[in-house]
A and B are shown apart, each in its own frame.
Chain A
Amino acid sequence: MTEASPVLPPRADALAMIAAATPPLPAAELRTLDNECARFVFRGREAAIGPAGEACGVALPRARGAYGEVRNRRAIWLGPDEWLLIAAGEAPEGIAAAIEAATAGVPHSLVDVSHRQLCIEVSGPAAATVLAAGCPLDLSPAAFPVGTATRTVLAKAEIVLARTGPDVFHIEVWRSFSAYVWHYLDEARREFRAG
């Protein structure tokens, strides 16, 4: 019988432990989202893009900026031939099989990155200000409206940033950077802590 090490929990649990120990701050709330998500990076040229979107249930957006979303599935433009597909609460196998069937015989790549990264949500009236402590993009509603997503940087970590509401941002970040990003944002929002 194997027992979990009391010293070194898995990284995902490490972030959960950090999150649980972080006091709430409504001006810029931090939380980890349900990270039992299927995530893929899809790359392909013209012939593969349409079928992949159909199989995924979300048309792959063709230009930088707006992400596509249908129910729990989201397709984010990363580059001219590269997308991040996220299906919240789903296992990856069924989606992978559907996309593979739809793109059979057409050059493409589909990589399951479900466990490579996870999602941190920043929400509240100061969310954009807190993100601006480490993200060089213009996050004003005019330049980065609701429904926008892009790959960018937050301090020294690469992230995919999506604005899902006027005061709500999702940060997709690689697991090994997640504690760093969490602590960075927690530090940045200290000025909004009363007293």
Chain B
Amino acid sequence: MLLIACPYCGESRPEAEFRYGGEAHLARTPDSLDDDGWTGFLYARGNPKGLHFERWRHIHGCGRFFNAVRHTVTDKFVTTYPAGEGRPDLSSPEFAEKVAEASR
């Protein structure tokens, strides 16, 4: 079972307590006001093979939504952070080792 670090609980907890919440950082912009833009906002997702910014909810724990960076091939997490914070800069040195580990 995966252990996921909840940023609100401050510890790693078993995956069974969490629920996946889809791609993170989807923003409604003026571009999404017409039909094509709205369709894209609602349905089009990145689905990358590699590092993915995504939402999780610690639904059977503290109940909070938060964001995470996970590698979609290895299923390893690089980091988790509270909802509302911007995307972490994965090119910064603090993540170098974790990104390499998650991609392995």
A and B from one complex: yes
A contact set with B: CB distance below 8 Å: 63-64, 78-80, 82, 136-137, 150-153, 158
Asked if B31 is at the interface (CB within 8 A of a chain A CB), the reply is no
Contact bitstring B1-28, A, C-beta under 8 A = 1, else 0: 1000000111101111100000000000
Q: List 29 A-B contacts (CB under 8 A).
A: A63-B10, A64-B8, A64-B9, A64-B10, A64-B11, A64-B62, A78-B62, A78-B63, A79-B8, A79-B61, A79-B64, A80-B62, A80-B64, A82-B62, A82-B63, A136-B1, A136-B14, A136-B15, A136-B17, A150-B61, A151-B60, A151-B61, A151-B62, A151-B63, A152-B13, A152-B17, A152-B61, A153-B60, A158-B60
Q: In the assembly, what is the distance between CA of A2 and CA of B89, in Å?
A: 68
B contact set with A: CB distance below 8 Å: 1, 8-11, 13-17, 60-64
Q: How far is the CB of A58 from chain B (nearest CB, A)?
A: 19
Which secondary structure dominates where chain B touches chain A?
A: loop
Q: How far is the CB of A180 from chain B (nearest CB, A)?
A: 15
Q: In the assembly, what is the distance between CA of A152 and CA of B62, in Å?
A: 9
| Chain B residues, Cβ within 8 Å of A63 | 10
| Chain A residues, Cβ within 8 Å of B14 | 136-137
| Chain A residues, Cβ within 8 Å of B17 | 136, 152-153
User: If A63-B10, A64-B10 touch, does A136 touch B64 (CB 8 Å cutoff)?
Assistant: no
Measured CB to CB, the nearest residue on chain A to B62 is A79
Q: Is A79's CB under 8 angstroms from B11's CB?
A: no
